[in-house]
């Protein structure tokens, strides 16, 4: 039912980091669906991908791009254990655990039938409690080898 005079919501939302009042604004797109692969093997068939921009000054266009992932079932057993290990660690221990995880390739399906591939490594989440499907992991894009 449409209410007269109401406007439809835009897919672009603005979020502010609750931990810091000085944190820059971050523009986020609505979630898109994708799949995660490692070495050509499907490790997660349903990945919710959110792509946004980091508004801090001094970053290049590639550095501004933030990719957040939420992994849904079914998950590969190895990936599940790696993500669970990241959830249990904090601080430097979590960063070291993230460095040991093999990179993954996320294939994002577009509404127009196009695909975007992002190769990167999973980083520790900001929130460490709740069901795995509700935890957002950052994906740090790997630089192509020259």
List Cβ neighbours of 98 (8 Å cut-off, separation of 6 or more).
86, 121, 122, 123, 124
Integer CA distances (angstroms), 88 to 9, 85, 119, in order: 37, 5, 25
Cα angle 14-16-19, degrees, rounded to a multiple of 5? 165
pLDDT tens digits for range 11-25: 333 333 334 434 444
Looking at per-residue confidence, does 79 or 111 come out higher?
Answer: 79
Give the range among 26-35, 46-55, 85-94 with minimum mean pLDDT: 26-35
Query: Average pLDDT for residues 57-64, to the nearest whole number?
Result: 66
Tell me how crowded residue 98 is: count the other CB atoms within 10 A of its CB: 20
The whole domain housing 126 covers 23-141
- The one-character DSSP state at 87 is H
Number of domains the chain is built from: 1
Token representation of residue 30: 């609505």
Domain membership flag for residue 10: no
Give the range among 52-61, 64-73, 114-123 with minimum mean pLDDT: 52-61
Provide the percentage of residues in the chain whose pLDDT is more than 90: 37
Alpha carbons 68 and 49: distance in angstroms, whole number:
6
pLDDT tens digits for range 66-85: 889 999 988 999 999 999 99
Token representation of residue 79: 């990936």
Per-residue confidence band for 63, with pLDDT thresholds at 50, 70 and 90: low
CATH of the domain at 130: 2.40.10
Sheet strands (E) in 62-114: 65-71, 104-109
Peptide bond into 107 cis (omega under 30): no
């Amino acid at each position: 039912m449409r209410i007269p005079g109401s406007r439809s919501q835009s897919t672009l939302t603005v979020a502010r980091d609750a931990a810091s009042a000085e944190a820059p604004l971050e523009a986020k797109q609505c979630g898109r669906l994708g799949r995660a692969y490692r070495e050509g093997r499907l490790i997660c068939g349903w990945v919710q991908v959110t792509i946004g921009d980091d508004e801090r000054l001094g970053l290049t266009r590639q550095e501004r791009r933030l990719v957040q992932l939420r992994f849904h079932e079914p998950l590969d057993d190895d990936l599940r254990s790696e993500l669970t290990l990241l959830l249990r660690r904090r601080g430097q221990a979590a960063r070291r655990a993230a460095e040991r995880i093999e990179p993954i390739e996320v294939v994002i399906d577009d509404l127009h039938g196009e695909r975007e591939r992002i190769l990167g490594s999973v980083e520790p989440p900001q929130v460490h409690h709740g069901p795995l499907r509700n935890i957002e992991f950052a994906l740090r894009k790997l630089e192509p080898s020259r």
